[in-house]
Structure 1
Amino acid sequence: MLINVDGSASGNPGPSGGGGFCRNSSGNLIFAFYSGYGDDTNKRAELRVLHDAMEINVSFGFNQVELESNSQFVVDAFRGKSTLAWKWRYWLSRIEGIKKKGIFSISLIPREGNGLADGLAREGVACQGNVLFKNEKDLPICTRDLYLLDKVGLGAIRES
């Protein structure tokens, strides 16, 4: 399984959220989600969404997962290549616990290649709820074009 994640904060700190989606090798959606995290920082939102994505994958019984994030901070933290301040260690320790339940790898993806995850993260910030989508037709209307672009392998231009 391949899953893309992105975290976002409107202000830093400010209302934050994250989103992600999982697809199979054919590019078809397995699930997508967004979550609101309340007032928080962008970096903590990036770690929290990674945790959430991994937890959802494990709950679906997927034990071999390739993760993609456009955050170098998250990739380095996941790989143990950075020394994190105490305020981020809680989420990293939770991520480390989930890593023991499967085989997880992570890679850095260009921001333009993570459009759907970014769109879902913005929905998490705006809605401050937790929603799991199991069908592409159930995706928020504002993210459906981003899904189609991703499915055909085209990047998306992010609006500021």
Structure 2
Amino acid sequence: MDKEVCSKVSPQWKPPPQGLLKVNFDGSSLGNPGPASIGGLCRDALGEVLWSFSGPLGVCDSNEAEVRAMYTGIKRIDKELYDKIIVEEDSKNVIRWLLRSAAPPWRFWSFFDEIEDLTAGSSMVFHHVRRSGNSEADSLARSGVHRNVLEWNADYQHSKTINSID
């Protein structure tokens, strides 16, 4: 995993350079703790959505929702097909914890250990972005609280529903 992080100031989402993918994640909690959900999507250099997800978590705080959004999305990335990926998240805490520039709370250690294993050997770059640059992931996360199960959408035309979030 490339241990690189940048703070982006762009107020809107921008496509990745040709040959790269960009993945955005977000978590939402209606209360702290409260009903929570996650969402994310992967887009190519043309801005075309390759996959997305949205779903409920139950009751948790916003930090847990953000961590579980990142974890769920990272598990979805096919690193054999795509090894050059830009990952964007609007939670500074999650990015700092992921890059170990700050210690994550102990309750998240297993998530970050597995994310590190999943990203080993890949060329992922992690960026913190403003909420406005993460608006589609935010929308997917907010809508997830109204779903019964996590829904995956592989090409924005056909939905696949799975029954659990690890």
Shift of residue 137, structure 1, vs aligned partner: 4.6
**Alpha carbon RMSD of aligned pairs, Å?**
1.8
Show the counterpart of 1:68. Answer: 88
**Residue 133 of structure 1 pairs with residue 133 of structure 2:** no
Q: Against the structure 1 CA distance between its residues 65 and 46, is the aligned structure 2 distance closer, same or farther, given a 3 Å change threshold?
A: same
Shift of residue 60, structure 1, vs aligned partner: 7.6
Show the counterpart of 1:121. Answer: 141
Shift of residue 135, structure 1, vs aligned partner: 2.7
Show the counterpart of 1:93. Answer: 113
Show the counterpart of 2:30. Answer: 10
SS at match of 1:126: coil
Give the % identical residues. Answer: 25
**Superposed structure 1 runs of 4+ greater than 6 Å apart:** none
Show the counterpart of 1:144. Answer: none
Does the CA contact (< 8 Å) of 2:54 and 2:140 recur in 1? yes
Does the CA contact (< 8 Å) of 2:79 and 2:122 recur in 1? no
Show the counterpart of 1:104. Answer: 124
Shift of residue 132, structure 1, vs aligned partner: 0.8
Unaligned runs of 5+ in 2: 1-20, 160-166
**Amino acid across the alignment from 1:5:** F
Shift of residue 85, structure 1, vs aligned partner: 1.7
Q: Against the structure 1 CA distance between its residues 60 and 51, is the aligned structure 2 distance closer, same or farther, given a 3 Å change threshold?
A: farther
Show the counterpart of 1:40. Answer: 60
Q: TM-score, normalised by structure 1?
A: 0.79
Show the counterpart of 1:142. Answer: none
Does the CA contact (< 8 Å) of 2:54 and 2:144 recur in 1? yes
Counterpart Cα distance in 1 of 2:48 and 2:108: 33
Show the counterpart of 1:24. Answer: 44
Counterpart Cα distance in 2 of 1:94 and 1:45: 16
Unaligned runs of 5+ in 1: 140-160
Show the counterpart of 1:54. Answer: 74
Aligned length: 139
SS at match of 1:96: helix
Q: TM-score, normalised by structure 2?
A: 0.76
Structure (1 or 2) with the greater helix fraction: 1
Show the counterpart of 2:6. Answer: none
Does the CA contact (< 8 Å) of 1:37 and 1:128 recur in 2? no
